[in-house]
Structure formats: structure tokens, C-alpha cells
């Protein structure tokens, strides 16, 4: 039984290998079909296919001719629309892509822009769109012409360009710089900080030399006013410090005087002037004369005593103020 199973598997394997052509077999089949002459049925099939293609092309061409004839018969104008008439460019732009809609044209229509042919795409209902990149646009004014021709009908559209010139660009940039510098200087005048003044001076130096003077004068005036204000503040500060010192000194002096006034004051003793040394003999005509000489209460026997000065006879001369 095992032998019969093996034979059956071997037969199936051989059958499978025969049904799978190798890569070489495909190549051989291709070469054979290439070199083999076509049969009548194959020739008939190819002829029918070619005839269909030619018929489609002829029908399309006839349709286009009829469409062109109809547009001409109805005197439909070719219209170039959806495009700017005047295009302005800055100094740094020398190319621009333009687009437009072309209506009233058949499939035979031809569009040229400045002599270069361009295709009409997205055709629908006798209309389509064009796109074209204009290059090397010169400074100042220039223009291009869009020309559409469809049989006997044609239409032209002129698009004008104005590219900024170098002189206009420099003038524009100068105006921007002057406007910006004016804003910076004005801010420095309103808020005269060192940072704002320094920034203003830096921006002024970026201007052409013949444009700096008015701004520089304003900054110089601002710096002078600021310096004067600083000097006034310093003087006021010094005056305030000096006044404070004087007030402190006055307060200290007042405290010292108050301390002295709180202590008891010694009353000086009044001393009687010492009598002048008497000469050997003193003779006073009156007590008034004696007192003027510094003598009074002179006892009997003392210099200057005289009986006529001792009127009460108590032995003491000039003992009473008479």
C-alpha cells in the first residue's frame, strides 16, 4: 500500500511541475510569438482597433472644426480676463507668474505671451486657463502682450509692469529711516534716560551725513538740559546736606546751653577795693575826700584820722555816710 501511495505522489508531482512554466519558457514563448506571423483573426483585430483610433481622431478633429466654425459664425469674441492690468513690483522682484482666463476659443486656439507659446489647460465650454512666468522684468515701466488667435479671430491683452527703480528704492528706505529716527528721538525727549539717548544717537549715525544735523541738535540740547538738571540736583543735595549740618550743630549748641543753664551759677563776691597805701601824713578836708581816696572808718591814731572828721567824737572818723 505504501508503494502505491509513493507512485501516486510522484505522479502528482510530475503533473504539477509540467503545469508551471519556467522563466526560460516565458522567454521562449515571447520569442515564438514575436517571430510567429499573425493569424487572420489577429490581423483583423488590430485593423479594427486602429480604425477605431483613427475614427476617434477624425471625429474629434471634425468636432473642433465645427466648434471653431460656429464661434466664427456667431462672431464670438475672444476674451482674456481674470488678470491684473497694472502690476507693481518692488525693487528686489524681477519675475512674476501671471494667470488668465481665455474664453470664446476652440481647441485650435493658440496663445502667445511676448512671443512665447503657452498651452491652454482646463478647457471647458469654449474656455480655458493659462499660466506664464514673466522673467527679467526691468526697472521702471514695461509691458507684455498676451495674444490669442483662433482661426480668423484674434484678441490681444496688454499687461503693464512697474518695477521699483534703485533710486525710488533708496528714497523709500531713506523715508523709512527718517521716520523711525524721528520716533526714537521723540521717545528720548519724552523719556530722557541714558538708554534712550544712546539708542537715538546710534540711529542718527546710521543716516546719511546731510540728514543728521536736525536730529543731532535736538539730542545735544537734550543732553545739555539733562546735565544742567543733574548739576542743579547736586547743588540742591549739597545745600540740603549743609543745612542739615547747620541744624545739627545748632541743636547740639542748644543742648549744651541747656545743660549749662541747669547747673547752679556761682555768684561772684563783691570785694571792696583795697585802700591805697597812705602817705606818711594824710590830711583830708572832708569825709567825701577821704572816701574818694579809699579811706573810711579811720580810728584815732590811724593815718587820715582827724578830729574834724570825727564829728560825733566816738574815735572813728568818717564812720557814717554824710
Burial call 238-247: b when 16+ CB within 10 Å, e when fewer: eeeeeeeeee
Per-residue pLDDT of the chain (322 residues; tens, 9 = 90+): 444 545 555 555 554 444 444 455 666 666 666 666 778 887 788 888 889 999 898 988 887 788 888 888 889 999 999 999 999 999 999 999 999 999 999 888 999 998 899 999 998 888 999 999 999 999 999 999 999 999 889 999 999 999 999 999 999 999 999 999 999 999 999 999 999 999 999 999 999 999 999 999 999 999 999 899 889 999 999 999 999 988 888 888 888 887 776 655 544 554 445 455 545 467 888 888 888 888 888 888 888 888 888 888 888 888 865 4
Domain boundary among 120, 139, 164: 164
For helices 194-205 and 213-262, the axis angle rounded to 10 degrees is 160
pLDDT confidence of residue 30: 63
- Phi, psi at residue 316, to the nearest 5°? -125, 125
CATH number at residue 157: 2.60.40.10
Domain boundary among 111, 136, 164: 164
Q: Are residues 86 and 158 in the same domain?
A: yes
Q: Are residues 172 and 152 in the same domain?
A: no
Range(s) of the domain holding residue 304: 287-317
pLDDT confidence of residue 12: 54
CATH number at residue 190: 1.10.10
Q: Are residues 158 and 83 in the same domain?
A: yes
Q: Are residues 86 and 145 in the same domain?
A: yes
Q: Are residues 203 and 222 in the same domain?
A: yes
CB 114 within 8 A of CB 159: no
The cell for 232 is 542743579
In-domain check, residue 141: yes
Task: Tell me the pTM.
Answer: 0.52
In-domain check, residue 260: no
Q: Are residues 158 and 182 in the same domain?
A: no
pLDDT confidence of residue 322: 47
CB 165 within 8 A of CB 138: no
Short-list 219, 220, 216, CA closest to 208: 216
d(CA 182, CA 73): 67
- Per DSSP, the residues of 74-87 read TTPPPEEESS-SEE
Q: Are residues 204 and 223 in the same domain?
A: yes
In-domain check, residue 172: yes
d(CA 98, CA 43): 51
Q: Are residues 158 and 173 in the same domain?
A: no
In-domain check, residue 242: no
Q: Are residues 156 and 201 in the same domain?
A: no
In-domain check, residue 21: no
Q: How many separate domains does the chain show?
A: 3
In-domain check, residue 61: no
Domain boundary among 137, 164, 191: 164
In-domain check, residue 50: no
Q: Are residues 211 and 172 in the same domain?
A: yes
For helices 194-205 and 166-190, the axis angle rounded to 10 degrees is 160
CB 91 within 8 A of CB 165: yes
The cell for 166 is 534703485
Residue 135 CB partners (closer than 8 Å, separation 6+): 94, 95
Q: Are residues 159 and 142 in the same domain?
A: yes
Q: Are residues 177 and 149 in the same domain?
A: no
* Distances from the Cα of 180 to the Cα of 170, 200, 215, 313, angstroms: 15, 10, 12, 122
d(CA 48, CA 136): 53
In-domain check, residue 108: yes
Amino acid at each position: 500500500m505504501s508503494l502505491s501511495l509513493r507512485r501516486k505522489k510522484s505522479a502528482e508531482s510530475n503533473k504539477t511541475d509540467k503545469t508551471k512554466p519556467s522563466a526560460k519558457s516565458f522567454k521562449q514563448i515571447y520569442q515564438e510569438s514575436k517571430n510567429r506571423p499573425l493569424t487572420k483573426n489577429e490581423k483583423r483585430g488590430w485593423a479594427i482597433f486602429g480604425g477605431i483610433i483613427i475614427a476617434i481622431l477624425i471625429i474629434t478633429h471634425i468636432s473642433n472644426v465645427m466648434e471653431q466654425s460656429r464661434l466664427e459664425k456667431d462672431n464670438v469674441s475672444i476674451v482674456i480676463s481674470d488678470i491684473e492690468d497694472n502690476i507693481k513690483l518692488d525693487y528686489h522682484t524681477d519675475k512674476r507668474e501671471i494667470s488668465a482666463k481665455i474664453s470664446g476659443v476652440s481647441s485650435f486656439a493658440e496663445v502667445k505671451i511676448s512671443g512665447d507659446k503657452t498651452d491652454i489647460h482646463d478647457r471647458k465650454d469654449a474656455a480655458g486657463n493659462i499660466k506664464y512666468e514673466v522673467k527679467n522684468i526691468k526697472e521702471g515701466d514695461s509691458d507684455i502682450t498676451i495674444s490669442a488667435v483662433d482661426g480668423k479671430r484674434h484678441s490681444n491683452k496688454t499687461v503693464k509692469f512697474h518695477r521699483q527703480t534703485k533710486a525710488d528704492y533708496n528714497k523709500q528706505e531713506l523715508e523709512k529711516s527718517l521716520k523711525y529716527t524721528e520716533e526714537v528721538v521723540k521717545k528720548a525727549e519724552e523719556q530722557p534716560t541714558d538708554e534712550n539717548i544712546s539708542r537715538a544717537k546710534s540711529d542718527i549715525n546710521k543716516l546719511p551725513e546731510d540728514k543728521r544735523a536736525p536730529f543731532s541738535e535736538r539730542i545735544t540740547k537734550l543732553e545739555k538740559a539733562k546735565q544742567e538738571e543733574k548739576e542743579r540736583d547736586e547743588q540742591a543735595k549739597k545745600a540740603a546736606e549743609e543745612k542739615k549740618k547747620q541744624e545739627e550743630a545748632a541743636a547740639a549748641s542748644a543742648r549744651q546751653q541747656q545743660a549749662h543753664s541747669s547747673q547752679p551759677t556761682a555768684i561772684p563776691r563783691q570785694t571792696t577795693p583795697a585802700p591805697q597805701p597812705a602817705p606818711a601824713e594824710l590830711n583830708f578836708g572832708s569825709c567825701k575826700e577821704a572816701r574818694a581816696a579809699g579811706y573810711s572808718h579811720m580810728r584815732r591814731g590811724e593815718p587820715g584820722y582827724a578830729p574834724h572828721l570825727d564829728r560825733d567824737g566816738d574815735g572813728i572818723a568818717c564812720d557814717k555816710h554824710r
